[in-house]
Structure 1
């Protein structure tokens, strides 16, 4: 029986409830963060807290508690659930009040929910074989930089990919790749340059993205932060994605066409190795 956290209480998941009037449920008026756990420790926690503050500020929502208190809750959940490898999910909604498009007043407390999930991150079967992606239109709202729970389109394209025998979808806007359903997208050009979309309202500024680009700089790989086309991606030497729970995951095919030799590439493998080593050393 898993222990979860809801509004100040640690509870068995079967006993945890949230109001039917919660704005996260009614309006997707909520934000979230996912922090990976390795060896029972949290990866990039400070980065996730920085982005959490940014998302809350962008939506005019108050931070419900101090970062140190959230850290303590994360650690308590990891301990109570004996989690060695996986993730801690955090969601904060604007709270519960009778349904109205207008935001509730400041006296309405936010809803805070956290839970853990076991996930095999290091020995990932998907990483070993490489993922296949399809491309599809990016029809999300234009504030993709805010990590809200408005994930219906991401879920739709993920399922579209599965139906076509692929693992994920790379979304495309105005002819250029934005990002994956829940990850940032990259290609490695024929001259060895890593290309990934520049930060804007069109993508989420991934915490893993920031760390991996630092890893690339450490090994002397040139990085270009710019938009790239689907054709450019299909002609690339390598492709990969990054995310909090996928770390660095190679892409071996796009729309059924092999990328490079159709196998996980050395640049992605090396970046994954460095990132894991760095993350373990800095985990808390």
Structure 2
């Protein structure tokens, strides 16, 4: 019989790329993670990883098992949450709110899809939502009595940070897209060189913000010094401004779920940037309801091509 704990470990190993990296958020040693994967291979009769002295490589069987594991674990978490809801008045967790901090584009384009699911009401999860930028949400989580879960993003490896005492779960990478006005006559999906856009007008973040710093460093590394015609930190506004012909913009895929007409998305190989989405908590203990919420959110992100 397959151990669900081993399935959760499998997902972490695939997401993080090594036994050692997966061990940190799970609270195990790398050796324990390796032993769990060996046990899972033994129980299922398939090879999940090709091991070498320097690295591990997931097999096709591991990818297939991971897809099924997500569904199985979601069902298990839903069962536990439902059980806690019907366990009786003495079960405090059944009536406990989930106080959620979330950044604007995730609240705009992913959370409503989750809340609109037909079975949401039956999961016994009552959300109290606070929408804010990541640094605000992290501060509220640190306060200890304001939030239970914080959903944040980090662009590149610099800028936003959080204390090591917070438990972190990576949910996926939200890739940025280069969008330009359709009036510029590029074909949608056209592959262009970055220097073709160097002299074009651009809509950029306000200087001094963490996103602007990372983007500026990327452009500088390409020796690009774009002509900036607008500063805007609201991706929805940037998309609408670009659609009018004002300039090009760099916008994450999540914010493009309801993009206006009049835009073209370009493939610019030199401009590769993503913001990593994380869930943060204080400590390592999660309730079944938090697990259900996280599983459902991860499923929604996969639907819009944002996944580990």
Same fold (TM over 0.5): no
TM-score normalised over the length of structure 2 = 0.29
Larger Rg: 2
Q: Which has the higher contact order (CA 8 A, sep 6+)?
A: 2
TM-score normalised over the length of structure 1 = 0.31
**Higher fraction of helix:** 2
